[in-house]
Amino acid sequence: MANQYLSLSLFLMLLSFFIIMNGNSGFDDTKARPVMQSLSLAFSNTTTEQGQAPLDEIVPETHHGEGETLERIESLFSAHIPGVQAKRNRLGNMMRIRMPVRSFETGIDFSGLSSENENKQGSEGERGKFLPMLVALLQSQSSGVPYRMDMLLDVPDDPVSLIERSPAFLSEKTALVSSFANSLQSAGIPGPLLGTGLQKGENGFIDIFFRRDEPYEPAPGQEKGEPL
C-alpha cells in the first residue's frame, strides 16, 4: 500500500505541475500561425509537386522586423557610446539600453562639431553619423513600423519625494532629460516618438526603452477621446 500511495502522490504532483504550467501559459498568434499552417500542409490529403518541400508554401509574413531593427539600434549604441548595456524582453519586441548619462549626452551633442569635422574620417566623423542613423532606425523606413524612444533618467530617490525635499535638484534633472529630447527632436526624430521621465535608480545613469509605436485604437463603437 505504501508504494501505491507514493505512486499516487507523485502522479498528483506531476498533474498539478502541468495544470499550473497550462494556467500560466500564453498564446502567441504570430508564432503559432506558421506552425499550424505547416502541420496542416504536412497532414493534409493533398500532395505537393515533386521536388517541392512543404516549407515552400507561401506563408504570410508574421513579424514586423522588431528583432532586426532592435539589433541595429543596439549595435549603433554599442559602436558609438561607451558603457552601453542592452537587454531585450522575452518576446524580443522591446529593448532597454542603460548607459552613463555623460556618455549619452556627449554622443548626441553636436554643438562643438562643424560641418567640416562631421564629414572627415575618425572619431568625430563616426560621431556625426550616430544621430542620422538613429533617426532612420526609429522611423524604420524600410518596414514602415516606427519605434518609440522613452528616456528615464535615474535619480537617487523617488521623484515624488524629491518634490518637497529637493525641488531644485528635481528641476535640474527634469531640464536635463528634456534637453536630450529637444536635441533628438531637432535632429529629426518626431516628438510623438519621444518620451522622458525620472525614475529611482543609480545616479548618473539613464535607461532608454525602445518599442514599436502602436497608436491608440478605440474599442469598437467607441470614438477617440471618449472616456473608458
User: What tens digit of pLDDT does each residue of 87-142 get?
Assistant: 988 777 789 999 999 988 888 875 544 444 444 444 444 555 677 888 887 776 54
Looking at the domain assignment, is residue 12 inside a domain? no
For 5-51, the pLDDT digits (tens) are 888 888 899 999 889 888 877 766 677 777 777 777 777 665 545 44
Question: Residue 172 sits in a domain of what CATH number?
Answer: 3.30.1330
Beginning with the edge strand found earlier in the chain, give each strand of the sheet holding 194-200 in spatial order: 85-88, 94-100, 205-212, 147-155, 194-200
Cell of 119: 564629414
Residue 83 has pLDDT above 90, yes or no: no
How big is the CA angle at 181 (ends 148 and 127), to the nearest 5 degrees?
Answer: 90
Residue 160 lies in a domain: yes
Residue 156 domain flag: yes
Q: Report the predicted TM-score, pTM, of the whole model to 2 decimal places.
A: 0.58
Number of domains the chain is built from: 1
Q: Is residue 144 part of a domain?
A: yes
Nearest CA to 150 out of 103, 193, 115 is that of: 193
Residue-number span of the structural domain to which 151 is assigned: 66-210
Q: Which residue has the cell 470614438?
A: 223
Q: Hey, what's the cell of 75?
A: 549595435
In a domain, 37, yes or no: no
Q: Please indicate, yes or no, if residue 193 is contained in any of the structural domains.
A: yes
Q: Is residue 14 part of a domain?
A: no
Give a yes or no: residue 4 inside a domain.
no
Dihedral of alpha carbons 5, 11, 14, 16, sign:
negative
